[in-house]
Amino acid sequence: MWKIASGVFLGWSLGANDSANIFGTGVATGAVRYTTAIVLTSIFVLFGALVEGPKCMETVGELSLLSPVDAFCCTLAGGLTMTALTLAALPASSSHAVVGAVIGVGMLSGSADFSRLYRIVVCWVFTPVCALALAYVLFRVLGYLINRTIPSLTSRNTLYRAGILLAGCYGAYTLGANNVANVTGVYVGAALLSAEVASLVGGLSIAAGVLTYSRNVMVTVGKGIAPLGPFSAFVVVLTAAATLHLFTQVGVPVSSSQAVVGAVVGVGMVGDVRTVSQRMLGKIVLGWLLTPVAGGLLAYALLRVFFS
């Protein structure tokens, strides 16, 4: 069972990093308190992992033929990469880290299936694009509807509070449903755990990360990218959640960070594209590119050094 320890570690890192994508904007705009945010996120992440988590498990497990030791190295490499990026307060992608690690290990054993990787990479590319377009449309449509139907300041204040809360809970649910496969999907592929048990273990470890170490990235995501108002925060979280849910149905674990940054850029573009901090976006894109490469190299090195 020690082999799943690295998966628990990766889940913890994912929870610490990606919970920012759910309530980061809500916390930064002051609509939700940090404590409320992490408690709700952890509950709904676990719920999502248990209900829809198994849908994406196969995709990760089938990228390469993995032994239990390979699976251990993959998740350990993914977890170390995620932790490094979390310490640097960058929104990292666990999907990139784990898929990079699985491919790295697969290349060593010669079992890497690049035809499946192609499908995953296409989904990765479409995640921010989808989120950007959806955020732009939602911002326009919902903005128009709310302006027409709820003009009162106090009613709108209540609506935004409730909207950010509900969208955050939905976001946490989809985070658990989509990203639990990154944490324990490799163990299903290596026949160490059943999909249901993997979902439970993954969900609990993500919730632990949310509860213990998520504050830094939450502030970076919320405040560093674009100045968001409460309505924008609501649209961003709703868009990111809908995007993750869409790709969960496709069966591909994608980056919640990519979804949320795409949504933030989409909302920023409605006002003025100059409100989006280019420097911060550059740092995030750099993190995305480095993550799969670092995950792959690290998994390769771990396997060569410790288990050759």
Partner 1 sequence: MFLKKLLSHGQKEQKVVDGIEQHIRLLARACELFKGALETGDRKLVEEIVHLERQGDAARRDIIGTIYEGAFLPYLRPNLCKFVENVDHVFDLLQETALYFREVALPENIQDVCVQVAAINREMCDMLLITFQAMLRGEDLREKSLAVRIYEKKVDDIKFDLMADVRRLPVRDFWEGKSVADFLTGITSISDFIEDATDSLQVIHLSMR
d(CA 137, CA 38): 29
Nearest residue (CB) to partner 1, 153 versus 305: 153
d(CA 71, CA 307): 12
Tell me the H-state helices in the chain: 5-28, 34-52, 57-61, 68-87, 94-109, 114-149, 153-189, 195-212, 215-224, 230-250, 256-271, 278-307
Distances (CA, A) of 138 to 31, 32, 147, 178, 197: 20, 21, 13, 22, 36
| Contact present, 40 and 168 (Cβ < 8 Å) | yes
Nearest residue (CB) to partner 1, 188 versus 233: 233
Shortest distance, position 174 Cβ to partner 1, whole Å: 21
Residues that bind partner 1 (CB under 8 A): 29-33, 36, 143, 147, 150-158, 160-162, 165, 229-231
Shortest distance, position 272 Cβ to partner 1, whole Å: 14
Nearest residue (CB) to partner 1, 115 versus 272: 272
Shortest distance, position 43 Cβ to partner 1, whole Å: 13
DSSP conformation class of 273? G
Nearest residue (CB) to partner 1, 69 versus 137: 137
Shortest distance, position 264 Cβ to partner 1, whole Å: 16
Centroid of chain to Cα 134: 17
Nearest residue (CB) to partner 1, 47 versus 126: 47
Shortest distance, position 22 Cβ to partner 1, whole Å: 15
Q: Which of 53, 66, 5, 6 is nearest to 189 (CA)?
A: 66
Strands (E), the chain: none
Nearest residue (CB) to partner 1, 129 versus 162: 162
Shortest distance, position 159 Cβ to partner 1, whole Å: 10
Q: Computed over its alpha carbons, how large is the radius of gyration of the chain?
A: 18
Shortest distance, position 173 Cβ to partner 1, whole Å: 17
Q: How far apart are the first and last CA of the chain?
A: 20
Nearest residue (CB) to partner 1, 36 versus 67: 36
